[in-house]
Amino acid sequence: MASNAQPDRGHPDAGRRRAQLAPDDDRPRAPSPAECAWAAALELLEHDLRRRDAAERTRRAYAGDVQGFARWASSRGWAPGEVSAKEVRRYVAELSARGAAARTTARKLAAIRALFASQREHGLIGENPAELVSTPRRPSHLPRVLSAREAAQLLNSIPAGGALQVRDRAMFELAYACGLRAEELVTLRCSDVDHDGEQLRVEGKGRKTRFVPVGEPAMAAVRSYLERARPALAASPASARGGAGRHAASPAAAAPPSGAAEALFLSKTGRPLGTSDVRRRLAAWIAHAGALGERGAGAISPHALRHSFATHLLDGGADLRAIQELLGHASVSSTQIYTRVESARLKSAYARSHPRA
């Protein structure tokens, strides 16, 4: 049953949201009724997303996209209840006319749907006008993947010398062995590694948990990291920076950084890694390995290891349903792109090899 509960209009963000909807103008003025209505709608969406335990990054992305639509609608004097599918289509058309990519427009439309879904859930509108607007067709791009030889060359090129090298070898072995997203990789905890069962507990999109088998090379790399490298990174951040001998650590500096006690992969300062750290380290090791030839280090992102994981499973005979579960896809339709990767690979091999191709 729809709930009419709404967040407090005295919420500290309320004034900020109204200010974000108002056009740039040095002259102070009272917000219009439409601006007030949109500010309330944005607060309600934020409230609903928090109630559903949506990730902070998701909430920020939705807020940015719906604020643009709210400014556009309020400048025309339309409150949320006065917007029809016609107006949403007009907004989408204006985005395209301004040069927005189909992917960007589709993302913004998804956020607008969520905004009106929130309004409908609370009984403030009867229908969701954005549900009647078709999502722009996005260009179809096959994911970039490493060949099995390139993946092996990359991983085998990372030496087992210093703590950071041992960490990187374990991190990328695990990313390729389990098909992890970069966000999943950096949010892993030490307790997520099941050494006896040789599997990994992964919290994916939507806070959905899955268990993924881990191959022996990756398990060996993780064990080596936990035994040799992580204790050093966790215990002495200053030493990792080369400054421990010059300055005695204060009690505050000696306290472990937030999240470090549980995080599996730590930075050289003893803090949990971010996704940008993963991208940077992967690019450095790809350049070091020379595994991609003309494609270069910038051509492969951490997500390419995930794509490679799925493609190599398909090459080895795994069925789509199994790959779907291992990747944590909500629908098998998301996994079917790898059949196209396989088809493209076979066509390329045919074109190169058959005398009558």
Query: Residues with catalytic annotation?
Result: 181, 205, 303, 306, 329, 338
CA–CA distance, 273 with 89 (Å, rounded to integer): 41
| 45: Cβ contacts below 8 Å, ≥ 6 apart | 62, 63, 66, 114, 115, 118
Residue 174: which of 150, 190, 196 has the closest Cα?
190
Residue 332 near residue 324, CB atoms below 8 Å: yes
Angstrom distances, CA of residue 285 to CA of 93, 273, 280, 317: 43, 17, 9, 30
For the chain, how long is the longest CA-to-CA vector? 76
The terminus-to-terminus CA distance of the chain in angstroms comes to 61
Q: Which residue has the tokens 């990291």?
A: 225
Q: How far apart are CA 118 and CA 37, in angstroms?
A: 14
Q: Provide the H-helix boundaries in the chain.
A: 13-21, 33-51, 56-74, 85-97, 102-121, 148-156, 163-178, 182-186, 216-224, 230-235, 237-240, 251-254, 275-289, 302-315, 320-327, 332-335, 337-353
